[in-house]
Amino acid sequence: MPVPVPQQRGVPAAETPHGADLTVLVIEDDPAGSITGPELSAAAGTRVRIRTARNLTEAGRLLTDDVDCILLDLALPVPTTNATATTATTTAPAAPDHRPEPAPGRADELAVLTHVLRIAPLHAVLVLTAQDDTELAAEAVRVGAQDYLFRGELDARVLSRAIRYAVERKRADLAQHQLTESGLRAQENARLERGLLPTPLLDGSDLSFAARYRPGRSRALLGGDFYDTVRTPDGTVHAMIGDVCGHGPDEAALGVELRIAWRALTLAGLCGDQLLSTLQQVLEHERQSEEIFATLCTVDIAPDGRRAGLCLAGHPAPLLARHGRPARLLPYEDGGPALGLLPRARWPRRQVELGAEWSLMMYTDGLIEGRVGAGSSQRLGQDGMVAMVNSRLEQGLAGEELLEAAVAEVRELNGGELTDDVAVLLLGRDPERIRRRGRSASRPGPVSTASSTATAPAAASAQRPPLYGP
């Protein structure tokens, strides 16, 4: 039978739409006894084109993307080592082989099948076998064939139905494999991103800490916003929050780099303008283009908790709430430009009086750029955020509850999910809480070294902020 000229098309093998023409590659040493294309076309109700190959070398030449199904005779002579290596090298795509190995004692009988599966991992495969060899046929399906047929029962109707079934089954297998791989990649990315979120280092500090983080990217755990908090050996608590322009994975990676650099520089003793100048150098070396910049807000709180130094690099000013007074924005006039905009910029450090009891909220612009009402063009803005926070403070909310309510209300006002990344952290000082802790620490009691050591990691991990889903 003459072999039709192969016609390349955009639809991959095993993804042929239902009712479309079919191309079948028959591999057997006596193709003259096979069912013809017209017979199959009449039984299938659609055009079926048949290509025939007497051996695996011919099959390798005829195997193209437009072949929908391979009909393989398991009685075909086993290929030589040289022929097998040549065909596999020139025909097989670069794909990992995850198929099960044949059962012991069956490897030689299924050598032809394993070779075909290796060179045609994306094609449906039907095997032909003798009627008295059911076990071999079943083993062929376990190894990777989509179905089997007995030579003695072969007719156009049965073969047409089997080809359709094999093509659809291979299509489903490929879809399931891709879905599984996507799920595994998503899990791995989630573990990686979760590990890159900061764990504040506040051991020995009397300050309270709370944080909320929501990436703007769909199904992501990490965005371009970043923050961190550490306590240095002299008792100073340093806090930082920043925002890399953009929302993609490159921006998220750059945010992680800047956060890690900030922590290292802070622990090394840098602060204020010197620290921000060094961070700008890090950004300039690591960013993908010169258009990328980052805003930043840093605060260093004195060991007594009553004063702080503030540096702003193009970032919104923090919100300070003192006991018995409405929350207000800290001064912004002395701020410098965002990192990455001006080569020799300077960032002055402003001294701020905090008082004895206070809460300091640092945030990224995702919190204030949400809409006020679905379909509205009006933004919440800093004034709207201040009013919202004061309303929640009047209700007696603080700490985790305050942040939870604030983020929830911003989402509600926006009429749905926020498109920008949102990071918010809250530091606070409560003299009464400090006194209670001091009295509790001064009470005599049994000390268990093992217990205190075991709970330290748990306490650190508990400081990770809750993650919001997309």
Tokens representing residue 349 in the block: 């450090």
Q: Give the residue ranges of the chain where pLDDT is below 70.
A: 1-20, 30-46, 78-99, 188-196, 216-222, 374, 439-470
Q: Which residue has the tokens 């039978």?
A: 1
Q: Give the separation between CA 442 and CA 434, rounded to whole angstroms.
A: 12
For residue 225, the SS3 value is strand
Q: Residue 89 has what pLDDT?
A: 37
Q: Which residue has the tokens 């005829």?
A: 62
Q: Residue 241 has what pLDDT?
A: 97
Helix H or strand E segment including 424: strand 422-429
Q: Give the separation between CA 122 and CA 13, rounded to whole angstroms.
A: 6
Q: Please write the tens of the pLDDT for every residue from 122-148.
A: 999 999 988 778 899 999 999 999 999
Q: Please write the tens of the pLDDT for every residue from 210-234.
A: 999 888 655 556 678 999 999 999 9
Q: Residue 161 has what pLDDT?
A: 85
Give the pTM.
Answer: 0.60
Q: Distance between the two ends of the chain, CA-based, in angstroms? A: 58
CB burial class (10 A; 0-12, 13-18, 19+) of residue 73?
middle
What is the CB neighbour count within 10 angstroms for residue 407? 22
What is the CB neighbour count within 10 angstroms for residue 65? 15
For residue 345, the SS3 value is coil
Q: Residue 102 has what pLDDT?
A: 79
For residue 147, the SS3 value is strand
CB burial class (10 A; 0-12, 13-18, 19+) of residue 404?
middle
Least Cα distance to 11 among 123, 116, 160 occurs for 123
CB burial class (10 A; 0-12, 13-18, 19+) of residue 244?
buried
